[in-house]
Each structure stands twice: as structure tokens, then as C-alpha cells.
Structure 1
Amino acid sequence: MSSRGAAGRSGMSDLTTDRGDLVRFDRYGSGPAIVFVAGAGPYRAMDPQTTATARGLAEVGFTTVVHDRVGRGESPATGDVTLDRELAAVAALVEEVGGHAVLVGHSSGSSIALAAAARGVPVDGLVLWEAPLDEQEDLAKVQGWHDDVTRLLDVGELAAAAAEYVRDMPAEFRAGLEQMPFYPRFVAQAPAYRADGESLVWAASGNLGELLGRELPVLAVVGEQTFPVMTRAAERIVREVPGAVSEELAGAWHSWDVPAAVERFGRFTRDL
């Protein structure tokens, strides 16, 4: 994997994964490493919350990385953005920060973080923020949803594919998303959501602890104000992953409170 510096925001760099994808990322601070893995949709330019959290952690003694996932933001991609390509990016970022790190997954980034750990990426621990891994979503249902999204992507129906991707989210979440200024970009980068779908199908295919296949500290976190599905998912993680714990943290409707996240994510990492 190769890496080169780039002009621009503090600590901005590029790397090229072993699958040939260019990934742009911001790196902050020094100390134990934390790599953020966004869910479907977010990229650095529209996600100041994650950047603020990464900067806050850097100020208290951590190396942090926030990247544009493959096919999003400033990480361009062509063809099908598969889970394998996404995991190669995570592996390259972990290598970039010294060869091991805590992964902080947000939403479907949580299932990608879990899959990275299961694939052998040298992960020290996982923080899973509102992972959409409800046990009520059985494999047949998740696979059917993923197939529907993929079918629309295959014929170039990006707007329909983006809408299908969030079809099972609460109505108020979908309505709010469609009003966001970045929604056209959310639609345009829909081909990159294949990786998220693949990771969610994988996570629905069995017991999470067995899928993970290794002992690993795991913290499942939900906001104080959230959707019931997120609480059920955290309960599933604790039940299925040996030693996993769950907590409620200041935050609302799928977003965390930055000071609370800095304190808790930092404490989790220091305690490993």
C-alpha cells in the first residue's frame, strides 16, 4: 500500500489500497490509534460531527483518522464498490497509523468494522454506534432488501436505489434525510452502498460472536434519544459477542454528542 501527502486541510493525505482504490483521509494527533468508519452516506465534507470528535480525541492524546469511504467524497471509485474493497481500505488505514487501531463504526459502518475484525485486520477493539443489527431482521429479509437495492443499481436507477436503501428506517428519519442539502450527493454515491448491504447481510447470517471469530473488546453505544431498533441491536450485540457491553450516551436520533463521545471513546481506547 502506498501513501502520499496532499495539500489542504490539516493532516490530509491519500493512500492507495491493495485493491487499487485511492482513499483520502484526515489524520490528527498522536498516540493510540482510532479509525472512524462511517455508515452509508456520510463523507468528510458533510460530517463535521465526526471530524470534531476526531479532533477532540487528538487533543487528549490519540491518533485519529477520518476518511472518505471508497466511492464517496474525495475517494473516487468506478465499478462495483464491494465489501472486499471497503475492507481493504480499512486495512490500509490501520496500517497507516501503525498497524493496529480501535475502529469506531457508525450505523452500517459498524457492520463493516465487525467484518474487518473478522477478516483479520489488526483491531484492538470496536466501538459500534447505533449498529443496525436488529435480530428481528432475519437473513432472508436482509438479503431480499440488499437484492432489491442491487437490482436498481444494476440498471442505473440511483434515486430509487437510494430510497430503497433506507426503506426500513423510521418514516421521520427518511423524511428528514430527503430534506438535507446533501441528499443529491447521497443519491449520486448510491453505487457505494453495495458494501454496506453486503456487510449487513453478513451480519444477519449468524451469531455475531461466531461470525467475529475472536475475542475482542466491543462497546455497543446508543444515543439517549434513538429509535427502538437501535436499542434492540445493542442488546443483540451484548448477548451474542462474549464480553461486549452496551451503554447509552448523550446523543439524539442517530448522532452522538461530541464531548460525550470524546470522553467515552477515549476512555474505551485507553482501557484496552
Structure 2
Amino acid sequence: MKTTLSADGTKLAYDVRGDGPVLIYITGAICFRTFRPVVADAKAFAAEFTVYTYDRRGRGDSADAPVYDVAREVEDIEAIIDAAGGKAHIYGHSSGAVLALEAALRLPHKIDRVVIYDASYVHDAQERDSYAALSRQVGSLLDRGENGRAIKRFLQDIGMPRLFVHLLPLVPGWTTMKSLAPTLRYDIALTEELPPLDRLTAIEVPVRVVVGGRSPAGLLDVARRVAEAIPGPDALVLHGQDHMVSAKALIPVLRESLLGNREPDHKRIGER
């Protein structure tokens, strides 16, 4: 484990694997850098990149601040980029994809290219209303110290497979996940509104928008609209993949999008 400080003095813990161009991996809700799926992804990506995984603030071995602001999380990304030498590629998953887009907007001089997977904004007004209700339910459970129930309620309502949610307490790392459950409020704050398409049109960094073919329909709609707003190619659908994308399926996309190798054989949204 290595550490660095964000602009507000918050300690950030991170790990480094591999050799090659620098890739900062920004994880989604309830993930942390030593979580087995995150470690497995990082090890796979390390075949092509120097991979930096870090605990987002309030998680794992990183510290936190009393008040949450997305700007602080972007400063955290900048601190990791600086620790990596001052320039990096970015890969963001789920709410981490939303952060990756914010970083692309605010740190264009420090980011080479970006790949996002299943950016988890709400996709319409109806989902925004139901998500607000979910936010209240999760907040109430967290206020009562029922962290495990808060995690399960959140994951079930955003469409994670029931079997996956049911088996979570048996997964190594469940105790850590429960301890960082209060950061669900951060992920909800990042994703509770529709994609800010007007702002996203200002992104100058190359961004590859990717979505799982078996992900919730709302995420495919979000991917299409985000890709239309950002200059670049159409959204790429990884058929057979859901929100928990496999590293094996993703590596060809990272290779092509970040290193300029041959484009992988996957269909765009709307293609038959």
C-alpha cells in the first residue's frame, strides 16, 4: 500500500501493478482497492498497463472529510494522477464512470484518454423519482446503523441480480463493505440526476463509452445519450456482459481505445 494526500489533506491509499502506460481505475459503489473482484481486474489490466487502484475517500484505508462534494473526489483523482507522474489514462466503472467524466471535464491537461463502463446516471424522470425514494430508504437504514441492509436494498433496487445480492454476506470483504456503506450517499449524489449532456459536450479528452448488452435498459439509454453528447464514436455494447463486466471482455476495448490498437469486434448501439 502507498499513500498520498488530496488537495484538502485527505489521505488516499493506493496500489500499483504492472508495467506500461498509466491507467487509473475508478471503482463504483461499495468497492475498495483490496476487494477480490477489483484486485482480479487490476491484475488482468496490468498485462497491458501500469494500473493504479485506490480507495475512494471514506473507503478502505483512505480517510474522509466531514462534507462530501464531487469536486473533492475529482481532486482525489488528480492526486493519484500526480502520484503516477502527472498524466494518465482513466477507466471508470458505474459511479466511477461518472467521476471519470467529471475528471475529463476538469482535468483535461492531466488525462490522456478515458474509457467508461455503465455510467450509472438515472435515465429518465420516473427513475429519478424512484431513485430519490431509494436514497431516503438507504439513508434511513444507514442512520439506524443497518449498513448491511442498506447495501442490499441499494443493490437490489439498481438491478443487481438477486442471487448476487443474497450471497454477498458470504463474500470475503463483506465486513469491509459494511463499514464503508455510508459512502453509498456519495454514489447516490453522483448518479441521482440525468446525464448533464450540455456539460459533457465540453469534454475535449477522447472518451470511449461502453455498456453491457445485459445491463439494465436504462444504462444502455444513458450510454447512447452520453456518447452522442461527447465528440467521438458511438457507444460500444459488450454483448453477453452485465453490470459486473469481465476483465477478459474489457481488455480488448482498453487496448484499442487507450493504446490505439485494432478496434474490437463488438456492435454499436443500434446496429444489428
Shorter-chain TM range is 0.7 to 0.9
Tell me how many residue pairs correspond in the alignment.
Answer: 256
Aligned to 2:74: 87
1:84-123 equivalences in 2 (<5 Å): 84-120=71-107, 122-123=110-111
SS at structure 2 position matched to 1:59: coil
Aligned to 1:215: 204
Selected match of 1:130 from 115, 118, 126: 118
Q: Is the 8 A contact 1:218 1:245 kept in 2?
A: no
Q: Is the 8 A contact 1:238 1:244 kept in 2?
A: yes
Aligned to 2:214: 225
Q: Tell me, yes or no, if structure 1 residue 188 matches structure 2 residue 176.
A: no
* Counterpart-to-counterpart distance in 2, 1:144 and 1:114: 26
TM-score (norm 1): 0.79
Aligned to 1:18: 7
Q: Is the 8 A contact 1:238 1:245 kept in 2?
A: yes
User: What is the identity, as a one-letter code, of the residue corresponding to 1:132?
Assistant: S
- In terms of mean alpha carbon deviation, does 122-131 or 73-82 score higher? 73-82
Structure 1 stretches of at least 4 aligned residues deviating more than 6 Å after TM superposition: none
SS at structure 2 position matched to 1:131: coil
Deviation (angstroms), 1:16? 1.7
* Counterpart-to-counterpart distance in 1, 2:135 and 2:111: 27
1:1-272 equivalences in 2 (<5 Å): 12-48=1-37, 50-60=38-48, 62-77=49-64, 79-120=66-107, 122-137=110-125, 142=131, 145-146=134-135, 149-150=138-139, 153=142, 156-159=145-148, 161-166=150-155, 168-170=157-159, 173-180=161-168, 181=171, 182-201=173-192, 204=194, 207-211=196-200, 213-249=202-238, 252-271=241-260
Spell out, residue by residue over 1:133-169, the C-alpha distance to the aligned partner (whole angstroms, 9 max, x if none).
Answer: 3422565555554455446545655345434533532
Deviation (angstroms), 1:191? 1.6
* Counterpart-to-counterpart distance in 1, 2:249 and 2:259: 15
Q: Among the aligned pairs, what percent are the same residue?
A: 27
Spell out, residue by residue over 1:198-219, the C-alpha distance to the aligned partner (whole angstroms, 9 max, x if none).
Answer: 2213x52x64252463223221
* Counterpart-to-counterpart distance in 1, 2:177 and 2:225: 29
Spell out, residue by residue over 1:35-88, the C-alpha distance to the aligned partner (whole angstroms, 9 max, x if none).
Answer: 11000011122233x43443344333x322111221222224364454333222
Q: Is the 8 A contact 2:156 2:165 kept in 1?
A: no
Spell out, residue by residue over 1:2-27, the C-alpha distance to the aligned partner (whole angstroms, 9 max, x if none).
Answer: xxxxxxxxxx3111212222222111
Unmatched segments (≥5 aa) in structure 1: 1-11
Name whichever structure is richer in strand by fraction: 1
Deviation (angstroms), 1:89? 1.5
Deviation (angstroms), 1:104? 0.8
TM-score (norm 2): 0.79
Unmatched segments (≥5 aa) in structure 2: 262-272
Q: Is the 8 A contact 2:27 2:95 kept in 1?
A: yes
Q: Is the 8 A contact 1:209 1:242 kept in 2?
A: no
Aligned to 1:5: none
